[in-house]
Amino acid sequence: MELITLDGEELQKIARDVTAELPGTDQEHRADPDWELHKVGGKVFMLMTDMPGRPVLILKADPGDATALRERYTDITPGYHMNKTHWITVQGGDAIDDKLVEELVTDSYRLVVAGLPKSRRPVDPHIFDRQV
């Protein structure tokens, strides 16, 4: 199986497509600085921006998973302008493929949904299918 390298723009397009399918999400754009925020229940689960010329995703991650992801993938680093324990930055690269992006975006969404009051949850995060 051939691994297809995703550039930053493709990375962000795939992430947008995934979020469009997640229940109860909203998108907000802030022009200064240029940030695209994706929220569920009013809480951010994904941000998109350019880190000096490189389109990136910033996603919430379980601390243990975040550490493992950073160790395994050189294109995953601590969260840009976010808590370095709970957030990761993903940029396009050789080891980043569409399935990994889908999984990371969905996991971020589930983590944020789990932190919402039950009355504001669009899904049960414990049974929500990872393959949206």
> What's the mean pLDDT in 78-91?
89
Go through 83-102 and write b for each residue having 16 or more CB atoms within 10 A of its CB, e for each that does not. Answer: eeeebbbbbbbeebbbebbb
- When computed from its CA atoms, the radius of gyration of the chain, rounded to whole angstroms, is 14
Query: Residue 9: what residue type?
Result: E
Higher pLDDT, 129 or 88: 88
Domain boundaries, the chain: 8-114
- How much is the pLDDT for 94? 81
pLDDT tens-digit series, residues 46-80: 999 988 778 999 999 999 999 999 999 999 999 88
- Cα separation, 132 vs 128, whole angstroms: 8
- Cα separation, 35 vs 32, whole angstroms: 8
Is the domain covering 8-114 a CATH 3.30.420.40 domain?
A: no
Higher pLDDT, 3 or 119: 119
- How much is the pLDDT for 131? 46
